[in-house]
C-alpha cells in the first residue's frame, strides 16, 4: 500500500511523530488501505484527517488501484474502501475460476496416463459414465466425494472430449477427486461402450462367464475383480450416496463441493445480485423454479419423462393461480424456444381465464449462458454445479427467498437437493426405477428436502396431466413452501 501525505508514504512508526498525531485515531481505517495494489494520497495531514473523520462524506484525494494510473478523485472513504474490497473479491473470484479450470485440465491430462489394467484391478466400487450423461455428474460427484476409495470410468467419443473435460473439472476442483481415481477412455461411441459395460455388469450379477468384449479399448473391464469389487452404472451412485447425504431433512452436500456457493465471495454475490435485480426478483418472496426437460426427444435417456409444452403451460398456470411466482429455466427442445412455445400460449390462456390474481411469471431459460452461447462465468463460476449459485444466493440471509425446484425426474434435479434446496421431481407412479428413486426420498416419500410426485399418467403420453395429477403437483409444491 501506500497511504501518502504530501507525496510521502505513511508507515507504522509515523504515528508516533507529532506531525502525524492527528492520524493516530484513524490508524485502523488507514490499515485497511494496506494493499500492495492501492495508493491513496492526500495533500496534507489536515485533509486526510478531515476525510477519515467523516468517512461517508465526499473528499478530494488521489487514488490508484492495480495497473490504473494515479488520478484525482472525489469520493468518500467508505466508497474508496468499498472499491478496494470489490477489486479484492473480484481477484479472488477470478483466481478461483482460473485455479479450478487449471486443476481440471491437469487432472484430465494426468488421468489419461493411468494404466487401464492396473486401474481396473483395484478392489473397490467402479462407476461408469458416458460424457453425454452430464446431468448425472451431481450424484456421481457426491458419491466420489463420499466414498474415497470409489473410482470412475469416464467414456467419451472424440466429439465429447470437451464434455469429458468439464466433468473432470467438476470432479477434481469441486469434489476433490484425484486423477488416480478417474480413467478417461476415448471410444468410438460412448453409448455402445455403456452397453458393453452393462453386459459386463449383467454377467457379474448372474454369475455368468465374462462376455466377449469386441472393443479392444474396453477389454480392461475383464480385469475388475469378481470379488470385493463392483462395476456400477451412474444409477449406482444414487444408491451409494443418497442415504448418507439426504437422510431425513439433511442439508445436502454443499460442504463437500467447492466453488459452488456464491455467498462465500462478495464479488460473485455482487454479480448475482445484479442479475437478480435485473430480473426483478423480490426479497423474501416464494418462487417455484420450473425446470424444462426435452433431452429424451433429442436422443437422451428416458424420453417418456420429457415435458410437453401443454403440460408446462398447465402446471405454470396452476402454480400462478396459487399466487406463487414461477421462473422457468432449462434448455428447450431443439429448434424451439421457451418464449414462443410456453410464454405466448400461457399468456393467451391467462387472458382467456379472465381476471385473476396471479403470481408472477418469468423465463430465464439457459440463464447460465451469454448471448454467444459461452458460459457466463461472472454468474455461474467454474462448473455446471455452480449454475445453481443463483438459487443459493436467493436462499441467503440477504435475499431470504423461499424456493422449491420442480421438474421431471432427471440427474439435474439431484443437484438442487444435494445443495440443500427443496426439490420435487415428477415421475409415473409405476415406473421401473422406483427402487432407485426411493433411495433419495425414503420408502414413505417423507423427506422434505427431496420428494417424488408420483403421477398416474405422464404428460408425454397424453400431452397434459389429468386434473388429479395437476393438483397433486401443485399441492406438493405448496407443502414444500409452507
- What per-residue confidence (pLDDT) applies to 478? 97
For residue 133, what are the CA distances in angstroms to 76, 171, 183, 200, 203?
52, 14, 16, 19, 23
C-alpha span between 223 and 61 (Å, rounded) = 71
Structural contact between residues 291 and 284, judged by C-beta atoms closer than 8 angstroms: no
- What per-residue confidence (pLDDT) applies to 65? 83
How confident is the model over 25-64, as pLDDT tens digits?
898 888 888 777 789 999 999 999 999 999 999 999 999 9
- What per-residue confidence (pLDDT) applies to 264? 87
Sorted by sequence, the CB contacts under 8 Å of residue 115 that are 6+ apart come out as none
Confidence of residue 381 (pLDDT cuts 50, 70, 90): confident
Q: Quick one: cell of 402?
A: 423461499
More confident residue, 414 or 167: 167
Q: Quick one: cell of 451?
A: 420428494
C-alpha span between 141 and 159 (Å, rounded) = 23
Q: Quick one: cell of 138?
A: 451431481
For residue 420, the 8-state DSSP code is T
Mean pLDDT of 13-21: 81
Q: Coil, strand, or helix at residue 287?
A: strand
Cα 23 off chain centre by: 47
Res. 245: pLDDT tops 70: no
- Of 64-68, 248-252, 353-357, which range is least confident? 248-252
Matching residue, cell 460442504 = 255
Mean pLDDT of 404-426: 89
More confident residue, 238 or 245: 238
- Of 98-107, 301-310, 462-471, which range is least confident? 301-310
- What per-residue confidence (pLDDT) applies to 408? 93
Cα 104 off chain centre by: 16
Mean pLDDT of 211-231: 93
Q: What pTM value is reported for the model?
A: 0.85
Structural contact between residues 137 and 175, judged by C-beta atoms closer than 8 angstroms: no
H/E stretch holding 64 reads strand 59-65
Going by C-alpha positions, the residue among 86, 107, 131, 138 that lies closest to residue 383 is 138
Res. 85: pLDDT tops 90: no
Question: To which CATH superfamily is domain 247-481 assigned?
Answer: Glycogen Phosphorylase B; (3.40.50.2000)
C-alpha span between 17 and 140 (Å, rounded) = 62
- What per-residue confidence (pLDDT) applies to 238? 74
- Of 14-18, 96-100, 216-220, 250-254, which range is least confident? 250-254
Going by C-alpha positions, the residue among 372, 370, 401 that lies closest to residue 286 is 401
C-alpha span between 105 and 389 (Å, rounded) = 23
Res. 251: pLDDT tops 70: no
- What per-residue confidence (pLDDT) applies to 247? 58
Q: Quick one: cell of 391?
A: 438459487
- Residue 150 class from Cβ within 10 Å (0-12 exposed, 13-18 middle, 19+ buried)? buried
Confidence of residue 138 (pLDDT cuts 50, 70, 90): confident
Mean pLDDT of 215-226: 94
- What per-residue confidence (pLDDT) applies to 400? 97
Res. 257: pLDDT tops 90: no
Going by C-alpha positions, the residue among 414, 424, 406, 401 that lies closest to residue 315 is 406
- Share of residues in the chain with pLDDT > 90 (%): 57
Confidence of residue 244 (pLDDT cuts 50, 70, 90): low
Q: Residues of CATH 3.40.50.2000 domain(s) within the chain? A: 247-481
Going by C-alpha positions, the residue among 62, 60, 183, 165 that lies closest to residue 104 is 165
Class of domain 112-244: alpha beta
How confident is the model over 87-118, as pLDDT tens digits?
888 889 999 989 999 999 999 999 999 999 99
Confidence of residue 434 (pLDDT cuts 50, 70, 90): confident
Angle at 451 between CA 322 and CA 476, to 5 degrees: 20
- What per-residue confidence (pLDDT) applies to 248? 46
Res. 252: pLDDT tops 60: no
Average model confidence (pLDDT) for the chain? 89
Cα 217 off chain centre by: 33
Matching residue, cell 397433486 = 472
Res. 265: pLDDT tops 50: yes
Structural contact between residues 392 and 417, judged by C-beta atoms closer than 8 angstroms: no
Confidence of residue 256 (pLDDT cuts 50, 70, 90): low
Q: Quick one: cell of 399?
A: 435475499
Res. 401: pLDDT tops 90: yes
Alpha carbons within 13 A on the beta-carbon side of 221: 32
- What per-residue confidence (pLDDT) applies to 1? 56
Amino acid at each position: 500500500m501506500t497511504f501518502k501525505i504530501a507525496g510521502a508514504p505513511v508507515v507504522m512508526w509515523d504515528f508516533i511523530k507529532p506531525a502525524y498525531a492527528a492520524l493516530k485515531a484513524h490508524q485502523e481505517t488507514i490499515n485497511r488501505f494496506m494493499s500492495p495494489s492501492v495508493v491513496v494520497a492526500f495533500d496534507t495531514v489536515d485533509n486526510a484527517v478531515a476525510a477519515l473523520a467523516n468517512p461517508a462524506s465526499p473528499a478530494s484525494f488521489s487514488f490508484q488501484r492495480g495497473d490504473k494510473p494515479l488520478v484525482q478523485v472525489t469520493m468518500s472513504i467508505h466508497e474508496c474502501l468499498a472499491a478496494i474490497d470489490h477489486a479484492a473479491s473480484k481477484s479472488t473470484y477470478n483466481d478461483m475460476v482460473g485455479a479450478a479450470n487449471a486443476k481440471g485440465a491437469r487432472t484430465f491430462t494426468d488421468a489419461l496416463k493411468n494404466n487401464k489394467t492396473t486401474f481396473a484391478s483395484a478392489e473397490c466400487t467402479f462407476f461408469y459414465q458416458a460424457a453425454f450423461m452430464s446431468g448425472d455428474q451431481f450424484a456421481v460427484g457426491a458419491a466420489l466425494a463420499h466414498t474415497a476409495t470409489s473410482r470412475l470410468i469416464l467414456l467419451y467419443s472424440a466429439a465429447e472430449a470437451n464434455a469429458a473435460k468439464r466433468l473432470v473439472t467438476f470432479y477434481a476442483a469441486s469434489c476433490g477427486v484425484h486423477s488416480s481415481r478417474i480413467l478417461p477412455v476415448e471410444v468410438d461411441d460412448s453409448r455402445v461402450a455403456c452397453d458393453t459395460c452393462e453386459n459386463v455388469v449383467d454377467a457379474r450379477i448372474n454369475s455368468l462367464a465374462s462376455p466377449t468384449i469386441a472393443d479392444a479399448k474396453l477389454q480392461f473391464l475383464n480385469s475388475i475383480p469378481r470379488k470385493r469389487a463392483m462395476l456400477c452404472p451412474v444409477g449406482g451412485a444414487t444408491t451409494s450416496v443418497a442415504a448418507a447425504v439426504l437422510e431425513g431433512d439433511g442439508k445436502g452436500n454443499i460442504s463437500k463441493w467447492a466453488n459452488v456457493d456464491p455467498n462465500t465471495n462478495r464479488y460473485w454475490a455482487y454479480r448475482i445480485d445484479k442479475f437478480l435485480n435485473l430480473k426483478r426478483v423480490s426479497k423474501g418472496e416464494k418462487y417455484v423454479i420450473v425446470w424444462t426437460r426435452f433431452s429424451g426427444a433429442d436422443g437422451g435417456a428416458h424420453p417418456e419423462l420429457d415435458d410437453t409444452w401443454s403440460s408446462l403451460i398447465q402446471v405454470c398456470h396452476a402454480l400462478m393461480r396459487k399466487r406463487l411466482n414461477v421462473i422457468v429455466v432449462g434448455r428447450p427442445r431443439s429448434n424451439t424456444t421457451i418464449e414462443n412455445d410456453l410464454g405466448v400460449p400461457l399468456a393467451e390462456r391467462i387472458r382467456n381465464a379472465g381476471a385473476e390474481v396471479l403470481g408472477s411469471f418469468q423465463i430465464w431459460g439457459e440463464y447460465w449462458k451469454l448471448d454467444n452461447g459461452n458460459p457466463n462465468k461472472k454468474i455461474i463460476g467454474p462448473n455446471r454445479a455452480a449454475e445453481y449459485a443463483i438459487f443459493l444466493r436467493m436462499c441467503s440471509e440477504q435475499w431470504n427467498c423461499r424456493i422449491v425446484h420442480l421438474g421431471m425426474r432427471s440427474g439435474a434435479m439431484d443437484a438442487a437437493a444435494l445443495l440443500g434446496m427443496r426439490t420435487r421431481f415428477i415421475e409415473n407412479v409405476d415406473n421401473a426405477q422406483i427402487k432407485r428413486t426411493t433411495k433419495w426420498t425414503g420408502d414413505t416419500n417423507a423427506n422434505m428436502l427431496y420428494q417424488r410426485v408420483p403421477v398416474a399418467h405422464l404428460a408425454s403420453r397424453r400431452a397434459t396431466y389429468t386434473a388429479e395429477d395437476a393438483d397433486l403437483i401443485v399441492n406438493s409444491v405448496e407443502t414444500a413452501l409452507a
